[in-house]
Structure 1
Amino acid sequence: MTRVAARPARILVVEDDPAGRELLEHVLGEDGYTVESEGDGAEAWRRLETEPTRFAVVLLDWELPHLDGLALLERIKAASALEAIPVIFQTARTDRDSVLAAVAAGAAYFVPKPIDRELLRTVVAAATADHGRSLALQETVQRGEAAASTLVAGDFRVRTIAEATALATLLSRACPDPERTLVGFSELLINGVEHGNLGITYQEKSALLAAQGWAEEVERRLASPDHRDKRVVVHFERDDERIVVTITDCGPGFDWQRFLTISPDRIFHAHGRGIAMANLMSFDRLEYVAPGNRVIATVDLA
């Protein structure tokens, strides 16, 4: 089935095998993306350095001449002009050490080799949407409200994804490194809305993303009498040593331990990495309280 991307985006494919590169260009081109490609990691890096805002997503192979995929990923994430670009690893490696190395370097998405066309489409659509949200969030943070840094304590309630995103922006502005915490707050608050309050299960989200029906289902459930009065409750507190944010949703909780790290058996899923990325990159500590509908995020100040 051919799907047209909601927001046509430019994708850089980095693949040294000509046949594999041609297949990726064909599949993604069918979905309305503009696809450009390189067969060499070093050449891809030069292109990204020269045009850092050109691409919305980078899809790269692990094994590349002159500069392998992991080294290229590390360079992308170390460059302030490029670090927000989602990188999708195309790989046959599923061992724990390889997965952890890629995640530590900044990989958020994986697709298997040989290619699964429908999974590729779903993952690229998710990465493209995340890139758009990330740019919008960063823009609001950079516009900034200096007053947020003076926030000492506060209680907030959010119902919708839009409200969760807006509050994530405010909370990140109150932290010493807003861009570090922004994605983490966004992931935790959106999880509270979609999974906690609205009851969208992991399996349901997988199916909704594959069918491109996630946003519509969220809106349908928000309007439902079963869910329309539910709120995610957020408490913010700052002292001289730390900022502590407690997020509580109305759900029954979940097995959070499985999601604090990225498991090899889920690396090829289109979602399910947000909590792990928040734990690894956004906060100094992330602690869930049983049964899992409350999470405490801590940012150290001293």
Structure 2
Amino acid sequence: MPHKLLLVDDEPFNLELMAELLEDAGYETQLAENGEVAWDILQREGEQFSTILLDKMMPGMSGFDVLKKIKSEPRLEFLPVIMQTAMGAASSVQEGLAAGAFYYLTKPFSRDMLLAIVGAAVGHWDRYAHFRELANLHVDALRHLQSARFHCRTHREAQAITALLAKTSKQTERVATGLFELLVNAIEHGNLAISYEEKSQLIADGTWETELETRLQAPEYRERTVSVEFSHEGNQLQFAIEDMGEGFDWEYYQNAEPASLMTRHGRGILIARKLSFDSLRYEGAGNRVVAIVSQP
């Protein structure tokens, strides 16, 4: 079944252009000409969508107004929102970040730019949906787990650990989303020493998956693991993740430059900090991170 996208814009030409490009790429689309119509659709059938493309400037209910409503609605709060902004509108990006939007598309946009950012948002939704399905499995005993330690090398192993540890929380999907992002960051940028710029180029060249597998098997990297320590004290769950890399400039990615939010990757730490955990603290050179979530 193709991913269904809600496109919201008060300019008919923009709506038609986006719909044509996205449908040609295999997506299903539904159109809304203003914020009021979009919110009515979301209230009735919001669970059908994988991502929303939302214009910031619209008469009546603005894009930010719709965004705030989405993030205040528990059944919609994890739905990725791509905000359309004018070129260089850094203040709009910061305002959107505060409201919970992590994806941005600048006008005018190219086909490749549109498909790249939609692909990133839909990928985020796929991961969330997968962990939501796993959360429905009944493993109630994990809520009583006091401490545990795991090691992983690959994305598949990270996914298995995430699915297990997220069930220690009453907010399973919330924790799973951020925990997996942190583990992937530790594997890729920590243990495998892949820089942000390198990953961007590999994705653009279509060689990302091949390079990832090559590095996992390379002699200098194949013995490296990521450790995950879990502890439950009082009403707090703590996840300490440490890789064997040289560290990185975590402050840059935690605070996120507006330009990085208009690319296909690079927002994992930001999502973990703003969406998943009550506290996120990097230690040392940046190869250890401690994430804390308080139980309601």
1:273 is displaced (CA, Å) by: 1.4
* CA pair 249-28 structure 1, distance change in 2 beyond 3 A: same
In the alignment, which of 78, 102, 105 is matched to residue 96 of structure 2? 102
Match of 1:277 in 2: 271
Partner of 1:128, secondary structure, is helix
Q: Does residue 1:37 correspond to 2:31, yes or no?
A: yes
> CA offsets per residue over residues 230-274 of structure 1, 9 Å max, x none?
210111122225322211111111001111123223231222111
Which residue type is aligned with residue 174 of structure 1? T
Counterpart-to-counterpart distance in 2, 1:46 and 1:238: 41
Q: Does residue 1:141 correspond to 2:135, yes or no?
A: yes
Unaligned runs of 5+ in 2: none
Counterpart-to-counterpart distance in 2, 1:271 and 1:143: 30
Counterpart-to-counterpart distance in 2, 1:10 and 1:92: 25
Which residue type is aligned with residue 17 of structure 2? L
Q: How does 1:63-142 map to 2 (within 5 A)?
A: 63-92=57-86, 94-142=88-136
Match of 1:155 in 2: 149
Which residue type is aligned with residue 128 of structure 2? S
Q: How does 1:18-57 map to 2 (within 5 A)?
A: 18-57=12-51
* CA pair 28-241 structure 1, distance change in 2 beyond 3 A: closer
Counterpart-to-counterpart distance in 1, 2:82 and 2:205: 20
What's the RMSD between the two structures over aligned residues? 2.0
Counterpart-to-counterpart distance in 2, 1:77 and 1:208: 33
Q: Does residue 1:164 correspond to 2:121, yes or no?
A: no
* CA pair 54-211 structure 1, distance change in 2 beyond 3 A: farther
Which residue type is aligned with residue 177 of structure 1? Q
* CA pair 211-36 structure 1, distance change in 2 beyond 3 A: farther
Paired residues, number: 296
Q: Does residue 1:188 correspond to 2:186, yes or no?
A: no
Partner of 1:180, secondary structure, is helix
1:225 is displaced (CA, Å) by: 3.1
Give me the TM-score of the superposition, normalised by structure 2: 0.92
Match of 2:256 in 1: 262
Unaligned runs of 5+ in 1: 1-6
Counterpart-to-counterpart distance in 2, 1:197 and 1:231: 7
Given that 2:128 and 2:173 are in contact with CA atoms closer than 8 Å, whether structure 1 keeps it comes out as no
1:79 is displaced (CA, Å) by: 2.1
* CA pair 25-225 structure 1, distance change in 2 beyond 3 A: same
Given that 1:13 and 1:35 are in contact with CA atoms closer than 8 Å, whether structure 2 keeps it comes out as yes
In the alignment, which of 199, 202, 216 is matched to residue 205 of structure 1? 199
Match of 1:61 in 2: 55
Match of 1:231 in 2: 225
Which residue type is aligned with residue 201 of structure 1? S
